[in-house]
Amino acid sequence: GAVVSQHPSRVICKSGTSVKIECRSLDFQATTMFWYRQFPKQSLMLMATSNEGSKATYEQGVEKDKFLINHASLTLSTLTVTSAHPEDSSFYICSANDSGYEQFFGPGTRLTVL
Amino acid sequence: QKEVEQNSGPLSVPEGAIASLNCTYSDRGSQSFFWYRQYSGKSPELIMFIYSNGDKEDGRFTAQLNKASQYVSLLIRDSQPSDSATYLCAVNIRGSNYKLTFGKGTLLTVNP
């Protein structure tokens, strides 16, 4: 099956710093990538949808200036959490779609902001 | 508001029993339906998807879709302790650029 990687798997940072998370499709070209956030004991909440070479589409309530998404190629999307604060601590998960029905999920990145 | 609702949990079944997980959705434009399993601290993994009315079987898992009732379910036969996880129902709406809307999930515990 298709494989999606995320890096880093876990990050701890101080409040006010920026954190970049990479999402890569390893064996297929991802026409669309999605970024989700999941708080403890809650479901996945879609943050944004990104297509290669175009601006990301953010869901209502998600600050696009705080969560910067870049989809530079068909195999790489990055999420940068700018000026992170403790309330941004969460499990961030990306997924990629190859124009089929299925989304392939990355293993997730656990962000802890002190 | 496009909503996906799952039966409230947690659900507990003995090993070997059938576990039944239910999901309803509000948008009649929903096109395809997915069941994901998520272990604690891990990302979701796809169990199966369905897009036609009726049943779809894959090993111990059967997905059932009834578009008229806006209802999709997942049956797990011969439940195993390793099936203990949170099960997420997700719906893709036609024309939504493959976006998925997730339910809140149902925590299943299979007791040995």
One pLDDT digit (tens) per residue for chain B, 112 residues: 568 999 878 999 999 999 999 999 998 888 899 999 999 999 999 999 999 999 999 999 999 999 999 999 999 999 999 999 999 999 987 777 778 899 999 999 999 9
> Quick one: CA dihedral B48, B53, B55, B56, positive or negative?
negative
Residue B31: partners with Cβ closer than 8 Å, 6 or more residues away: B51, B92, B93, B94
The pLDDT value given to residue A88? 96
The pLDDT value given to residue B4? 92
Six-digit token string for A19:
């954190």
Helix (H, G, I), strand (E, B) or coil at A85: coil
The pLDDT value given to residue A79? 97
Q: Is B74 on the interface with A (CB under 8 A)?
A: no
Assess whether pLDDT exceeds 90 at residue A101: no
The pLDDT value given to residue A19? 97
| Mean pLDDT calculated for residue range A19-33 | 92
> Of B32, B92, B102, which is closest to A44 when you measure between CB atoms?
B102
Residues of chain B found within 8 Å of residue A107, distances taken between Cβ atoms: 42-43
> Of B43, B97, B98, which is closest to A106 when you measure between CB atoms?
B43
The pLDDT value given to residue A98? 79
Assess whether pLDDT exceeds 90 at residue A80: yes
The answer to whether the Cβ–Cβ distance between A43 and B99 falls below 8 Å is: no
> Quick one: CA dihedral B51, B56, B62, B64, positive or negative?
positive
Scan for tokens 């059938």, then name that residue.
Answer: B18
Q: Which of A42, A44, A98, A111 to mutate to test the interface with B (most CBs of B within 10 A)?
A: A44
| Mean pLDDT value across chain A | 92
Assess whether pLDDT exceeds 80 at residue A82: yes
